[in-house]
Amino acid sequence: MKLQLTVVSLEGGMALLKLPDGGTVSWPLGSLPAGLKTGAIINFIISENGAGVSDPELAKTILNEIINVDE
């Protein structure tokens, strides 16, 4: 599945991204392409069962950032 998120704002080392359903998520700027600007479109590819994910720990970290869960 491919998601297109729109950069709403860039502040304090975080990007506020607008989801297709209108919701938003904060994402660390260091994990996004350099040179992003407000209004840019970010494409995320999401797959099931670890397809395309070579590092399960990295996948877990990214998902926890999305849902804002601290371990």
Q: Could you read off the pLDDT tens digit of each residue along the chain, which spans 71 residues?
A: 788 999 999 999 999 999 999 999 999 998 898 899 999 999 888 777 655 556 667 777 777 777 765 54
CA distance 17 to 25: 5
Domain boundary assignment for the chain: 2-67
Look up the CATH architecture of domain 2-67. Answer: Beta Barrel (2.40)
Cβ pair 3, 17 in contact under 8 A: no
Give this prediction's pTM: 0.64
